[in-house]
Amino acid sequence: MSDLIRSTSTWWAQSSKHARRTAIGTTAIVLVLGLITWTVWVSPSGPVSTAVSEALGVTPPAAKKVSATELQTKLTAAQKQVWALQGKLDSSSAQAGSRAEEIAKLKQQIASLQSDLGAAKSAAAGSAAAAAQAAAAGKKGGSGSGSGTGGSGSGSDGAHGGNAAAPNTGPSKDPVTTEPISTPSKAQVLAQQSRWYGLYTTQAPFNWSEYDRVSQEVGKATNMVGFFQGFDQDFNQTAVQRSWANGRLPMMTWETVPAKTGNDQAFVPGYTNQDVVSGKFDAYLTKYAQDLKANGMPLVIRLDHEMNGSWYNWSEGTKQQNAAGSYVAMWQHVWNVFQANGANDYVIWNWSPSRIDKLGNPKYQTLDYMRQYYPGAQYVDWVGMSGYYRTATEQPTFQTTFGATLAQIRKIAPGKGIVLNEIGATETGGTVTDSQKSQWITSLFDALADPANRDIIGFAYFSQVATTIVDGTRTTNDWRLDSRADSLATFVKGIARNDIDYDLQEVSK
């Protein structure tokens, strides 16, 4: 791939040019808020001017009538600019600690402006009430009982701030900027020659703080971000827009169960593969597809991953009450609904089984068994897999974790780009300077440099502490990239290699 690396002029993959744009964006935000603040100070009827006049014992200038509606309009316009610029600033905030401080100051200024708006609305309501009373009673007076609410211009983080909502809590209620966010087309995403590097953190893409902290430690920005949704959640425009506003391809794992379903619940009544195929969810799917199309931004959908295991509701087995062939029928049905609504112009469908040599039952490890889950080349854009190193007794190598599964995927879906969709290594021990996790990470990057793996177009690392229950066994693993100093140092060295076809923005602490 090295001879086909994409130019850093392609904006959506993080590059060093983002640093310059960040500076421009910061300056623009400061200028916008500075202008508004100056207007408040010099306004003859503003609270600052009035307070100064009273303190000096002079008559304040004649009030210039500015309606609450006009003030609201100006504030809303400014807020939209701030959201748009701050969205780009968030992804680059890891470049310098001062960025976070600047954003905090900007939020304080917005809150102050909203307070002025509330006062203006309160005064306007009071004047209206007084006028009404005077007209009714035929005399001068009124109680000025109108209440100011602070207006509809939100002072919270909004669509590009630090909303703390976790991925599986449903669509964000935060406002979404109307400022246009430039994105590549689906075709451009599929044609990108450099690789994708993504992370899963606890709250991204709804809160970038942990994500950016890890990026600071690694020294490279990602160009992809992973999150999860359930089949009881509407299309999350906020998540997709926030991802692209930060230059990251959103990769959503979509599970055909309610979002709060436990990962040890192998059967969920009402959510079988046949329930989907029967059309029970067609109204939901149709609205989802239409909303996705209206948003107009590419989205990777990893639909019902790890289907070849026995722990999820969509796998084919007696306890799931799913017949053989029902998974493919379910996938094709969802794809067809999206196709009928024009959404497939934006969706990159990603088929992602689990590591086969850890499935237990030898039947599950055969090529024929995995093949029965493949929807067909027409219905799949990318293929991939989940693969974790979690057992101290096995060799911490790329081949051990991924080799057997990749061999089958390549036979089933020849020519498809492969994403290692969900990977990680737990801390299992080893020396202080060279743990088994560190060795596994070294092996990962060595494999990416191997020409035999040119079809692996990227990976997404699961940088979280997670507890899983598989076949009744409860296990907690620390998958985080910075779980130990040597593990982090090894990853930093690996992702910076110039022989693995990555084109990523550098991030400084």
What is the set of active-site residues?
A: 306, 422
CA distance 281 to 114: 42
Q: How far apart are CA 171 and CA 337, in angstroms?
A: 21
8 A C-beta contact, residue 382 and residue 420: no
Closest CA to 208 of 157, 153, 155: 157
Give the other-Cβ count within 10 Å of 119's Cβ: 16
Nearest to 440 by CA among 424, 453, 418: 424
Which amino acid is it at 167?
Answer: P
Token pair 């014992």 in the structure block, residue? 57
Q: Is 80 helix (H, G, I), strand (E, B) or coil?
A: helix
**Residue 270 φ/ψ region, left for φ over 0, alpha for ψ in the -120 to 50 degree band, beta for the rest:** left
Tokens of 506: 């550098």
**Could you tell me if 248 and 224 are in contact, meaning their C-beta atoms sit under 8 angstroms apart?**
yes
Quote the CA–CA distance of 322 and 333 in Å, as a whole number: 15
For residue 498, which phi and psi values (nearest 5 degrees)? -100, 10
